[in-house]
Amino acid sequence: AQTVTQSQPEMSVQEAETVTLSCTYDTSESNYYLFWYKQPPSRQMILVIRQEAYKQQNATENRFSVNFQKAAKSFSLKISDSQLGDTAMYFCAFMKQGNKLVFGAGTILRVKS
Amino acid sequence: EADIYQTPRYLVIGTGKKITLECSQTMGHDKMYWYQQDPGMELHLIHYSYGVNSTEKGDLSSESTVSRIRTEHFPLTLESARPSHTSQYLCASSEYGATQYFGPGTRLLVL
């Protein structure tokens, strides 16, 4: 069975600094998708970034980028120039066969001014 | 921003009541999903649908039921609510092999 592990329950970062959130996963599939979702306090879950496993190039979306290491089954999220609005719970997710998502336990990120 | 809606946003109800949580999307997505999320915890898939008249149970066992009579509508029903059903319920939709877009969620409290 596929599993997703986020080993950091909570992280803090100063405004304008860079932070990296860790995620590892376990699967026997060769083609899959990986996601980072953001859930601000009492607000809607939104997509941060997505990575297709067959692509070697790491995905980037503005201040958000990933370090995808397929052999190590690692998928970390780097947030550059952190902003107060980045404060949220971040979930790493693996899309398994059938278009179903398996989520990690989440990392609470607090951006401090 | 994805167009997926859930009502009610908050619901407090007594034990034994029947409830229906509504979810609708205007994107024409074939696939829809229901997740259950306890506060500060990960999401667990409880139901999904690949199209009209198609429904399947997810990875987490749930006493709720779902129906998919129209593409845009995927309601979830609890015939007899219990305190153990207290949780947040999130609806999502997607096209095949694509990103899932989430609704705002319904926070359910069963007294």
pLDDT tens track for B63-103: 999 999 999 999 999 999 999 999 999 999 998 767 899 99
Count of structural domains, chain B: 1
Residue B60 belongs to domain with CATH number = 2.60.40.10
Rg (CA), chain A: 13
Q: What percent of chain B has a predicted confidence (pLDDT) above 90?
A: 84
- Please report the pLDDT score of residue B1 as a whole number: 54
Residue bearing tokens 């008249």: B53
**A89 with B99: Cβ contact below 8 A:** no
Whole-angstrom distance, CA of residue B16 vs CA of residue B14: 6
The whole-angstrom separation of Cα A111 and Cα A86 is 7
CATH architecture observed for domain A3-112? Sandwich (2.60)
Instruction: Fill in the DSSP letter of residue B84.
Output: G
The pLDDT tens digits of the residues spanning A47-91 come to 999 999 988 899 999 999 999 999 999 999 999 999 999 999 999
Spatial CB neighbours of B56, under 8 Å, sequence gap ≥ 6:
B47, B48, B49, B50
Which two three-digit tokens encode residue A63?
A: 């201040």
Which residues of chain A does B97 touch, with a Cβ-Cβ cutoff of 8 Å? Answer: 33, 95, 99
Which DSSP symbol is given to A59? P
* Per-residue pLDDT at A35 exceeds 80: yes
Residue identified by tokens 């039921």 is B65
Residue-wise pLDDT tens digits, B5-41: 999 999 999 999 999 999 999 999 999 999 999 988 8
Q: CA A45, B44, A96, B30: dihedral to nearest 10 degrees?
A: -60
Domain that holds residue B30: 4-110
**Residue among A25, A29, A38, A100 with most chain B CBs within 10 A, to mutate:** A100
Q: How far is A12 from chain B (nearest CA, A)?
A: 16
CB of B10 closer than 8 Å to CB of B78:
no
Longest Cα–Cα distance in chain B: 39
Share of chain A above pLDDT 70, in %: 100
